[in-house]
Amino acid sequence: MVRRGPRRLRIFPGGWGESRYMSLLEDLGAFEGAPPAIDISWGPPKQRPDRTITDGHFEAITDLPAVARTAAVRHVEPRSGSDRLCLLMAAWNDHGYDTRQRLADELVQRGIGSLLLEIPYYGHRRVVADDEQPIQTVADFARMGFGAVSEGRALLHHFRNRYRMGVSGYSMGGNIGAMVAATADFPVASAPLAASYSPGPVFLDGVISSGIQWQALGGKQRRDELRDVLTAASVLRLPVPEWAPAAVLVAARSDGFIPTSAVDQLHRHWKGSELRWRRGGHATLLWRQRNVLADAISDSFERTAAFA
């Protein structure tokens, strides 16, 4: 299906891209200390029976193409208010807010608010507007990932004085969320969902590897080179946060996209964390077990209170 499916499943059709950006995946030292401050411009709140939804935007804090420099963010909060706020990072090809909004709805029922960030190259931040695959090159992927982690960290700091903060995400969003959590300098709840420790195993060992456009990359003999570049962005390269035992991971036993070993390595690196295995595959876990995913986020908030 990946090999013969729609263009959005074509991986790196534009090849490597500008080499100067690929080093961003190795520059984990850039995530030390407090991130730059952001100034969010909010629109009018939209009232729903059980929640308030407010959309906003802010200027990007990393080097991005001009059309991707305005970051969009949505704040979802229970009408009764909440002292907990979870940043939900976007998965691969997750444009807009619809998929994450469903998880945010589950969190509202648990009295938890959400932040939904539209990451670089996605949604309104597409660089190639008429192409199903917004990430054309390996360099695009590096800029997207570096920008997403940077903006996620900035959002955590922006709201930390008003809420107890958490971060989660599904698939790629879980990996990015884990990077954000591991580089935070204060306790945050963390629930990586169907998440690898790095993009490397996902792109090269899961079924999505069938979509890699090797001819654009110079042939399959470049496989080890691509693995080295993608695996550089690894949670395993980051120190284990003190609050790692409060993290709750969820994964599907029959997930063809995320190798089980990649999930297990993240779990073992974060000593004391909990890994909850569920029956099903990559899509069924997301669409049929959102309550399980929301429970993991809620439980991590409860456990993180001990580290505050």
Segment 27-50 mean pLDDT = 94
Segment 225-229 mean pLDDT = 95
Q: Tell me: the pLDDT tens digits for 139-155?
A: 999 999 999 999 999 99
Segment 181-188 mean pLDDT = 96
Contact 240, 271 (CB under 8 A): yes
Rounded Cα distance, 63 and 264, in Å: 33
Q: Mean pLDDT across the chain, nearest whole number?
A: 94
Instruction: Name the region of 33 (left: φ>0; alpha: ψ -120 to 50; beta: rest).
Output: left
How much is the pTM?
Answer: 0.95
Q: pLDDT confidence of 10, banded at 50, 70, 90? A: confident
List the domains of the chain with CATH numbers: 7-307 (3.40.50.1820)
pLDDT the model gives residue 99: 93
Which DSSP helix (H) or strand (E) runs through 140? helix 138-159
Q: Tell me: the pLDDT tens digits for 201-221?
A: 999 998 889 999 999 999 999
Segment 106-110 mean pLDDT = 97
Burial-class residue 35 by CB neighbours within 10 Å (0-12, 13-18, 19+). Answer: buried
Angle between helix 138-159 and 172-182 (nearest 10): 50
